[in-house]
Structures are given as C-alpha cells and as structure tokens.
Amino acid sequence: MKRIAVLTSGGDSPGMNAAVRAIAKLAASKGVQVMGVLEGYEGLMDGNLRELTKTLSDGTVSVDVEVDAAGNQGGTMIGSARSLRFREAEGRAQASLQMAKHGLEGLIVIGGNGSLTGAHIFTRESGLPVVGVPGSIDNDIGCTALALGVDTALNTIVQACDHIADTARAHRRAFVVEVMGRDCGYLAMASAIAVAADAVLIREQGKSEEQLVTDLSNVIRNGYARGKRRILTIKAEGVQVPCTRLVRLTEEAMRADMPNVEIRATVLGHVVRGGNPSYQDRAIAGRLGFAAVASLLRGSSDTMVGWLPPVSGGTPTEDSSVQLFGLEQVLVETAAVIDGTSPVTQRRLALMQKASGVLAL
Ligand code: F6P
C-alpha cells in the first residue's frame, strides 16, 4: 500500500488526535502517505480530504507539523460526524468510488459502536481493507478493556466531583452529578469508586422512577445520620429520569422528615468529552494507532485493534497489550455490553452491587 486514509467518526474522544498522529508517523516511516478524511464518513462520501503526511523531495514521507502538534490536544483535528447518509448503501457506494478516485488503498476508522458497524458493512460491501480503532468515552465497545478517551473522561469527572465536594461540604448539601453514557454506565461506576460517591445510579440496574427516588432518599437520610457533610450520587445519562426531576421528586419525598434537605443537580455533559488526553489515553492511542497501520499493511481487514492486558485469545501483534479482533466479534460483544448480557457487564454490575453497601459508609 502506498496511500491510506484515516477518519474519526461519532462522538469525539480525547486521544483521537494522538491516534491520528501515531498512524501518520508509522505510515510515514514505511513510506506510505496518509490522507485525513474530514468530518468522518460524510467526508469519505464527498471526497473531502486533507494530507496528513507530505512527500519530501528525496522521496521520503514526513508527518505534517500540525498533525504532530494536535496529537496532544482533545477533540479531533479532522472533524467528526454522525452520518445518516453512510447508513444507506448508496452513500457507501459513493464512498467506495471516492476511495478509488483518490487512490486510497486502505482505511482506518477511529470511533465507537456506530462507526465500527459502518466500517464492518463498508469493508464487506466494497472489498476495501478497513481496520478499526476503538474511540468512545463510554467504554461500551467489545474486545477492548479501554477505548480512547475513557481515562481522560474519568479524570475530568473526578476533578469535577472534587470541586463539587468542596462546595457540598461547605453547605452540608447532597448532590446528584450526571455523567455521559447513553447506553453504558461505565463512567458512572468507575468514577463513583474513585471519588467515593455514596451511590451510583445506572440504566443497567433497571430501576423505576419510584425506586430511584426511594433509593436516593435513603442514601441521603443515611448519609446525614452518619454526620456526613457531602452526600454524592453519580447518575449515568442512560437513566431516563432527568437529574432535575429526580432531585425535585426526592426533595418532595423527604419533605415530611427532612423539610430543609438541600439537593443540587449538576449535569457534566460535554465537559467530560473535551480536554487534552491524559498520559494513558495518549499512550494507548499511540500503541493502537501503530498496530492499526501495521495490521492494515500486513493485509488485515474487517478487524479492530483492541487494548487488553496480555492474555491469550486474540491474534497477537508485536505489542503484547494490543490484539486484533474481527469486527463481527467486536460488534456482537458490543451489543452484549449494551444489552447487559455480556459477562463484562455482569461482572461490572456484580462488583457495583458489592460496592454499594460499602460506598454509603
Ligand atoms: O460519544 C458518546 C456520547 O458522548 C454519549 O455518552 C452521549 O450520550 C452522546 O455521545 C452524546 O452525543 P452528541 O454529542 O451527539 O449529543
């Protein structure tokens, strides 16, 4: 291969730029040019590209200086989109034509569930080689212990909760903090342990509105009975009851026995998705990006590079923490993570169940 493309798709995540940089660097070292596709699959269908490498007069390939610098920044320098057009066969056929027109012999897709689903269908239909890199703060992708952005998002949540704890303790208040995670409560669970929250509310627990209100009221009552000055509950976005409604209903439910209870709601939202990538996200991005190019050049396709502690099961790459999985398997496991049937989700829930009695102490 002499010319490949990379795109970032779906919700951006810190570390995407670092992965793009690693991809450009490794490809350049092999004399392969890299084109960045702008705005995800939208740009692929429209042939909207920019050079991420340049060929010098001596024939060697070098990385664009902006690509090098952006590697340390959040967001994605090549833009992202959630494309509806690419879900249609016509859009994908258009993308395939653009790849041929621009001499692109392979594609690397950095993104989450929807983006990797698109990659799987595209490579099957077009016959063009595609390798995926998991990127989503939600950590809901199968066959990888971490996706790009998860660590940075957790660090942001932890910092925000520390700030909230200061003001909560000053006023002896209870807080409900909502974090992103539409289908998967990983960010809520992992951050709750790290900040020693009093409780976690996630979609996977399947609680009704009434149960949520009862549980939250009890957590707050018990916390105050223990003399706490800060009572913190982390709620995942996937829990359908909006934060402000939950707070209002809980205050109402507690009016009889604690008429002066003060509960505040903070929705962290997109704050959690931005910011410069942490050390861990940069390191993982570098190693996954490296492995993605190496795999593509070796002829791999319809696959994703996953970040895992060195265990057996996948096809080993030159990096003991990176393994290659078929996209079909990745997508099946992702669906199971989201619908709760995956052993990964079951383990997380069982752990959370055990932790719930301890967290409130
Ligand atoms: O990328 C995943 C995610 O951040 C989810 O946690 C969240 O529900 C969703 O994206 C928000 O998407 P958008 O930025 O398109 O509103």
Q: Is 185 in the pocket of ligand 1 (CB under 6 A)?
A: no
pLDDT exceeds cutoff 80 at 115: yes
138 is catalytic: yes
> Which residues fall within 8 angstroms of residue 39, CB to CB, at 6 or more apart?
48, 78, 79, 80, 81
Q: Is 238 in the pocket of ligand 1 (CB under 6 A)?
A: no
Q: How sure is the predictor about 311, in pLDDT bands with cuts at 50, 70 and 90? A: low
Task: Tell how far the Cα of 269 is from the centroid of ligand 1, in angstroms.
Answer: 9
Task: Report the first-to-last Cα separation within the chain, whole angstroms.
Answer: 59
Nearest CA to ligand 1 atom 15: 11
Q: Give the mean model confidence (pLDDT) for residues 259-277.
A: 97
Q: Is 273 in the pocket of ligand 1 (CB under 6 A)?
A: yes
Question: How many H helices and E strands in the chain?
Answer: 12, 14
**Amino acid 320: pLDDT:** 83
**Amino acid 275: pLDDT:** 98
16/133 Cα distance (integer angstroms) = 9
- Kindly report, residue by residue over 202-240, the tens digit of the pLDDT: 999 999 999 999 999 999 999 999 999 999 999 999 999
pLDDT exceeds cutoff 70 at 140: yes
pTM summary value? 0.95
Domain formed by 3-149+277-339, architecture: 3-Layer(aba) Sandwich (3.40)
pLDDT exceeds cutoff 70 at 26: yes
| Residue 230 and residue 173 in contact, taking contact as beta carbons nearer than 8 Å | yes
- Kindly report, residue by residue over 152-197, the tens digit of the pLDDT: 999 999 999 999 999 999 999 999 999 999 999 999 999 999 999 9
- Kindly report, residue by residue over 41-93, the tens digit of the pLDDT: 999 999 999 999 999 999 999 999 999 999 999 999 999 999 999 999 999 99
Distances (CA, A) of 100 to 3, 258, 302: 11, 68, 18
Q: How sure is the predictor about 312, in pLDDT bands with cuts at 50, 70 and 90? A: low
Q: Which two tokens stand for residue 146?
A: 């971490």
pLDDT exceeds cutoff 80 at 316: no
Q: Is 136 in the pocket of ligand 1 (CB under 6 A)?
A: yes
Q: Do domains 3-149+277-339 and 153-273 have the same CATH topology?
A: yes
12/20 Cα distance (integer angstroms) = 13
| Residue 227 and residue 184 in contact, taking contact as beta carbons nearer than 8 Å | no
Q: Phi and psi for 282 in degrees, rounded to 5?
A: -65, -40
Which is catalytic among the residues 138, 151, 183, 281?
138
Determine if residue 277 is left, alpha or beta; phi over 0 gives left, psi from -120 to 50 gives alpha, anything else beta: beta
Q: Give the mean model confidence (pLDDT) for residues 325-331.
A: 96
CATH of domain 153-273: 3.40.50.460
274/73 Cα distance (integer angstroms) = 9
Distances (CA, A) of 189 to 21, 165, 175, 235, 309: 31, 18, 16, 9, 21
179/186 Cα distance (integer angstroms) = 10
Q: Is 228 in the pocket of ligand 1 (CB under 6 A)?
A: no
| Residue 148 and residue 305 in contact, taking contact as beta carbons nearer than 8 Å | no
> Mean pLDDT across the chain, nearest whole number?
95
Taken in order 70, 71, 73, 74, the sign of the CA dihedral is positive
Domain ranges of the chain: 3-149+277-339, 153-273
**Ligand 1 atom having least distance to the Cα of 273:** 4
Closest CA to 174 of 274, 253, 237: 253
**Amino acid 357: pLDDT:** 77
